[in-house]
Amino acid sequence: MFAVEFAGFAYAYPESGVILNDINLTIPRGTFTVITGPSGAGKTTLALAVAGVIPHYFGGRQAGCVRVGGINTADSGMGELASQVGTVLADYESQMVAMTVAEEVAFSLETVGLSRREMDERIDQALAMVGLNGRQSCPVTDLSGGQKQRLVIASVLALAPDILVLDEPASALDPEGAAGIYELLAALNKQGKTIIAVEHHLDRVLPYADQIVLLQDGRIAKAGLAGEVIRHMWAQENLRPGVPALWKIKLSLEEKLGLKLRDWLTDEQAMAELKSMTDRQGGEEVKSA
Ligand SMILES: Nc1ncnc2c1ncn2[C@@H]1O[C@H](COP(=O)(O)OP(=O)(O)OP(=O)(O)O)[C@@H](O)[C@H]1O
């Protein structure tokens, strides 16, 4: 069974035209999927459809279906879905409601009906998973942006969902904080969680993404491995700005020098390949001298 399955899905908000159309997409369990695309393409709307917020909270009109953990989102309640999928909104601070770190996580557990001891255990576990253990009594206002984002993720993890959906989880963070959030998500993915992240900075997710889904004007323009999707973006003038910096260099070198380079996912891979090329060239020059 897939973690998430979109079949012929289309959606319009109550006061809008069709925002998503002809969405057919499968997200296998335990994978890391990135949803990308230009502003207004429908990324957030797609994430909200996985979370069940669409159609339950927004209403609107839909065709086709979205199944999450085998459950048709349109037929199930938000409570049932919450055990399958945890959602971190783009404006994650709006999800924070409590004074202290422990209270914040406790709040999301309130409807679960646990004893005080079980609750404390779950809080400690969730905080440990995001690297905030020992901060239980810390006021939420004392946390940095990155720590607040981790706390919201902990609150969601406390409900033990298999799937996490995050909308631009690093948008409010500095580069170091952004890298830290994606390292955390990659670690959770390694532990078996299915991760679905909306992200327009593809540089941040290249090392981790199993599948990139490119949305354009409410439709899936391309879905697949990073290399396939990025090459598709490179081929279209209006999508080129979204190509990660590393790949702009790689694809320019390939075009200008007629080279065929590997699909770089990290700076280190790029450095290693370029170094081995220059070493080889240096060796040939020495030989011919
Ligand atoms: N509540 C709403 N009611 C009506 N239209 C909406 C609503 N929310 C979003 N839209 C419209 O749906 C379209 C897709 O918006 P969405 O936020 O999903 O795109 P996005 O790709 O996430 O954009 P961005 O990168 O700018 O966040 C936009 O045209 C937007 O104006």
* Most distant CA atoms of the chain, gap in Å: 79
Structure tokens at 194: 């299915």
Residue 12 near ligand 1, beta carbon < 6 Å: no
Cα–Cα distance for residue pair 164/139, rounded to 1 Å: 25
CB 38 less than 6 A from any atom of ligand 1: no
pLDDT for residue 250: 94
Beta strand spans in the chain (E): 4-12, 18-27, 32-36, 61-68, 71-72, 85-88, 163-167, 194-198, 211-216, 219-224
CB 41 near ligand 1, within 6 Å: yes
Q: How large is the ipTM?
A: 0.98
Q: How many CA atoms lie less than 13 Å away from 276 in the CB half-sphere?
A: 7
Pairing, β 85-88 against β 4-12: unpaired
Query: Which pLDDT does position 210 carry in this prediction?
Result: 96
Pick the atom of ligand 1 nearest to 58's CA. 1
Question: Ligand 1 in contact with 110 (CB < 6 A)?
Answer: no
In the prediction, which pLDDT does 156 show?
92
CA–centroid distance, 13 to ligand 1, in Å, is 9
Residue to substitute in 15, 34, 45, 56 for testing ligand 1 pocket (most ligand atoms within 8 angstroms of CB): 45
- Count Cβ atoms within 10 A of the Cβ of residue 133 and give its class: 0-12 exposed, 13-18 middle, 19 or more buried: middle
CATH code of the domain made up of 2-240: 3.40.50.300
Q: Cis link prior to 175 (omega < 30° from 0)?
A: no
What pLDDT score does 283 carry?
66
- Which regions in the chain score pLDDT beneath 70? 283-289
Task: Please identify, by atom number, the ligand 1 atom nearest to the C-alpha of residue 45.
Answer: 18
CB 263 within 8 A of CB 226: yes
Q: Structural domain boundaries of the chain? A: 2-240, 244-288
Nearest in space to 163 (alpha carbons), one of 5, 24, 6, 30: 30
Q: According to the model, what pLDDT value does residue 289 have?
A: 63
Measured in Å, residue 259 CA sits from the centre of ligand 1 at 40
Is residue 15 lining ligand 1, measured as CB closer than 6 Å? yes
Using the structure block, give the residue that is written with the tokens 């380079």: 261
